[in-house]
Structure 1
């Protein structure tokens, strides 16, 4: 390669690095386009789902609608799954993600988050009217949980921390764990509270009722890094719509529970 080509290559490399670190203007692009492309997981009831009329519904769907309305643009829903939420953001297939997207330190290395607009709570739940107030009440009981899940780790750590002698019964997936509890094999279930809504609607004669919260995960709008204008707009929008009760109303409609008075940042 001659000196001229080396110089051009070096300048190109510098330009690419500078572009990667520069602020983008997705907010301006959205307004100019007149539409926002939002990634939503429609397989995660009650956050996102398709009802019997093939209508997209759920708390994240309604949140995205309200977000688009706040921007004064059309909403385009792009279906995402947990594994492709970040790739879809990074490749520009979506402008933002509103898909039960919890804030974690690992994810913050790749993407940015708005202020949290909702929560996902891991609870200890029971059937048959069994009342529990904390981990100590699990002594001598069998506790159903999905193997190798976050819920598994949380209950294992909680029992160990309080030196509680309980038996953890692990199943290979959520469906198997739910069926075990509904069939009476165990009457204690460690589960995301959001999952109880569709489970109880489908099984009204054997409701699984939350007893106490193990962990609260904040959920936020995901966006690409280096988007200061969009992040500022989202943060203001979340703050205003938590204060006026709109986001709580959406959450309560689909989750049958109120948002905490204070939503943790992480």
Structure 2
């Protein structure tokens, strides 16, 4: 399998020679010191410039398979059912991508914290795992057009509903999932709130059920779904911070695949594909009332 790599090259020997000539010569100790300094500089530069690995659109087609990262424990967006089959809103989209690209789809289970890593190391070609678009993430991956709206929300037991994060009790902990926008938002905006961090949605849900934290902050779509499916919990804060969007992501610089996905999203919008996706995978959870507020067709987000 072919892979594209971008590696910075430093001409350290030439630089060292030029330096010696300019000084009119050097002792052996001077030469050793200069060489060591040049080697250290080269190592620092190489470490700073991350190596990215990806397959182009043509390489994916040639292989006959596309690797797409999805969640396996985030019902109803990406999860494994009782028959061991992947289901959910993102999975429905992933399967259509494979169909229109003319390749098999290999679904790769991912967690929130390793989505960027899986792209940068070439483990997946696309991430479709409820990936919220943020400026910080856009520095590390390339986002395609959005296909869903999202905000943050906070869920808590009905016995102690959290409706505000102001005047937080310093002894209480907030449950978050590592690598999510909820974690980043709380660190930046509420640094005094102690965070109970988990790696997966399943462990975060278990923590809430076991009382390991007074509340759980996550995508509002996730906490609303949890409240609807689990009596005894309430979303006391349905929107926290800014409204955002969910979009596919590819490895930084993989323009051929990015362009194809953008064209695909525009084309799917013409047939109202994401409304059909919602009605096939989400309506049992959210009902029809949330459909227009959550679905984005053709990559066009209505103005607030």
Pairwise TM-score range, normalised by the shorter structure: 0.5 to 0.7
After alignment, is 144-153 or 94-103 more displaced? 144-153
- Alignment partner, residue 10 of structure 1: none
Does the alignment pair 1:208 with 2:234?
yes
After alignment, is 45-54 or 143-152 more displaced? 143-152
- Alignment partner, residue 8 of structure 2: none
**Aligned residues, how many?**
231
Q: Determine if contact 1:89/1:96 at 8 Å carries over to the other structure.
A: yes
TM-score for the superposition, normalised by structure 2: 0.59
- Alignment partner, residue 60 of structure 1: 90
Secondary structure at the aligned position of 1:233 is classed as: helix
- Alignment partner, residue 115 of structure 2: 85
Cα shift readout 1:10-49 (whole Å, capped 9, x = no counterpart):
xxxxxxxxxx99xx86111122222211122213333211
Higher relative contact order (CA 8 A, sep 6+): 1
- Higher alpha-carbon Rg: 2
- C-alpha displacement of 1:101: 1.7
Does the alignment pair 1:196 with 2:223?
yes
- Alignment partner, residue 69 of structure 1: 99
Matched residues in 2 for 1:53 and 1:193: separation?
A: 28
- Alignment partner, residue 200 of structure 2: none
Matched residues in 1 for 2:183 and 2:55: separation?
A: 41
Q: Determine if contact 1:171/1:177 at 8 Å carries over to the other structure.
A: no
Q: Determine if contact 1:111/1:225 at 8 Å carries over to the other structure.
A: yes
Q: Determine if contact 1:145/1:151 at 8 Å carries over to the other structure.
A: no
- Alignment partner, residue 12 of structure 1: none
Listed as ranges, the matches of 1:159-238 within 5 Å are 172=196, 174=204, 175-177=206-208, 179-180=210-211, 190-196=217-223, 199-200=226-227, 202-203=229-230, 205-206=231-232, 208-209=234-235, 212-214=238-240, 215-238=242-265
Superposed CA RMSD in Å reads 4.3
Structure 1: any 5+ residue segments left out of the alignment?
Answer: 1-5, 8-19, 160-167
- Alignment partner, residue 146 of structure 1: 175
Structure 2: any 5+ residue segments left out of the alignment?
Answer: 1-12, 15-49, 198-203
Cα shift readout 1:77-136 (whole Å, capped 9, x = no counterpart):
1222223322222222222111122222222222211111223321355776xx99x96x
Matched residues in 2 for 1:87 and 1:190: separation?
A: 23
- C-alpha displacement of 1:237: 1.2
Tell me: CA distance 1:152–1:230, structure 2 relative to 1, closer, same or farther (3 Å): closer
Matched residues in 1 for 2:237 and 2:63: separation?
A: 47
Matched residues in 2 for 1:251 and 1:243: separation?
A: 16
